[in-house]
Amino acid sequence: MAPTASIRSVEAFQVSWQPGDPPGRRSALVRIATEDGVVGWGEASPMQGGLHSIGIIERDLAPGLVGADAFDTGVLYDRQLHRNVKLGPEGALTGALAAVDIALWDIKGKTLGLPVHKLLGGAWRAEVPFYASIGGNAGRTVDETVRVVEARWRRETPAAIKIRRDGDRSILDLDIPGDIAKARAVRQLVGDGFPLAFDANNGYSVGGAMRVGRALEELGYIWFEEPVQHYDVRGMGEVAQRLDITVSAAEQTYTLQALVDMIHAGVRMVQPDIVKMGGITGLMQCAAICHAHGVELVPHQTQPTIGHVANLHVLAALMHLTKPAEYADASGRMDAGFKDPPRPADGRFAIPQGPGLGLEVDEAEINKRR
């Protein structure tokens, strides 16, 4: 008889990890329990603390999930997407679906006693290198940027480093000479052979992006992320086709059709996020599209626990993994909620081997912070 896992309850809630956490530092989690007592955990996009996705889960998704079979991940994903498609479908809805989907895969793995990557077809690798993703540099001087990068570089020994602008997206081309100076100073810090990437966070016009991109090419950076506004698909494609450096985008792409539009525009490296674009089911669909189009899939991922571990399972199952995994938050601020939080060693993360996500949640500690 085929295994089933009837869903008994769906809880979505916000977690404040530290006293006084502002909304943007909180996490949006989902806890799904089956009639047999198996519990799966998922995570939604943390934008504005994930409150919009939490509301969608509670009001719109949960009623259609209770009583369903957790093994029906594909059916539940598409059914819930199309029932609620007029909510977007981008952003809060796909973030809500991501949290639910990750939790359902966690339940499937725990029920069968297998890690998620086994359910995805097996692991091509036992560990994944990571890059240190270092944000907030638009507000720093050149010297301050170098100090922050050096501290992470020495402490974490990553396989690569990405420096992010994180500036005001409503003002384009604000300080192109300063941005180039920071990129040059970081290159001087780490030496010519160390892999570097630059994330513009949608901060340039097409002309500004060309100017910065040419400088990054001369400095030997390996990719240039989201140089123009994410919704300017044609502009993103123009920059990608005119520069030699790999241009990446699609962190803020939420549907498969939008991903294909970005690829057709000329972008050859895409970065959908597992907690923004449909979870494990959504990201594996992205992997199939990228494989068919010969495009690099390098998922964006900033959440250090549930989202991170779910992402590692998908990365393990990809045949062509061309870049390291993103590691943005090494602060350990969420560690209290997990008995075995993921830790890097020698620039790498081990692929979890326990059942489901392979992450043991400390529910008592989570409940204290709800």
- Chain position carrying tokens 């638009």: 138
Quick check: 70 pLDDT over 70? Answer: yes
pLDDT: is 232 or 90 the higher one?
232
Q: Which of 73, 84, 130 is nearest to 285 (CA)?
A: 73
pLDDT of residue 88: 85
Measured at the CA of 357, the angle between CA 16 and CA 346, to 5 degrees, comes to 85
**Tens digits of per-residue pLDDT, 83-99?**
999 988 889 999 999 99
pLDDT of residue 24: 81
Find the helix packing angle between 256-265 and 233-242, rounded to 10°: 40
Among the ranges given (12-21, 135-144, 232-241, 309-318), the one the predictor scored with the smallest mean pLDDT: 12-21
DSSP strand E in 157-206: where? 160-164, 196-199
Mean pLDDT of 77-84: 96
Quick check: 197 pLDDT over 80? Answer: yes
pLDDT of residue 4: 78
Measured at the CA of 183, the angle between CA 181 and CA 186, to 5 degrees, comes to 105
3-state secondary structure (DSSP) of residue 287: helix
Distinct helix (H) and strand (E) counts, the chain: 13, 12
Where do the domains of the chain lie, and which CATH numbers do they carry? 6-112 (3.30.390.10), 119-350 (3.20.20.120)
Quick check: 2 pLDDT over 80? Answer: no
Name 127's bridge partners: 350
Quick check: 1 pLDDT over 80? Answer: no
Q: What whole-number percentage of the chain has pLDDT above 90?
A: 95
pLDDT of residue 89: 83
Q: What whole-number percentage of the chain has pLDDT above 70?
A: 99
Mean pLDDT of 351-369: 97
Cβ count within 10 A of residue 82: 10
Among the ranges given (83-87, 146-150, 197-201), the one the predictor scored with the smallest mean pLDDT: 83-87
Average pLDDT, the chain: 96
Quick check: 158 pLDDT over 80? Answer: yes
Among the ranges given (86-95, 122-131, 187-196, 199-208), the one the predictor scored with the smallest mean pLDDT: 86-95
pLDDT of residue 298: 98
Quick check: 264 pLDDT over 70? Answer: yes
pLDDT: is 157 or 48 the higher one?
157
Cis peptide before 22 (omega within 30 of 0): no
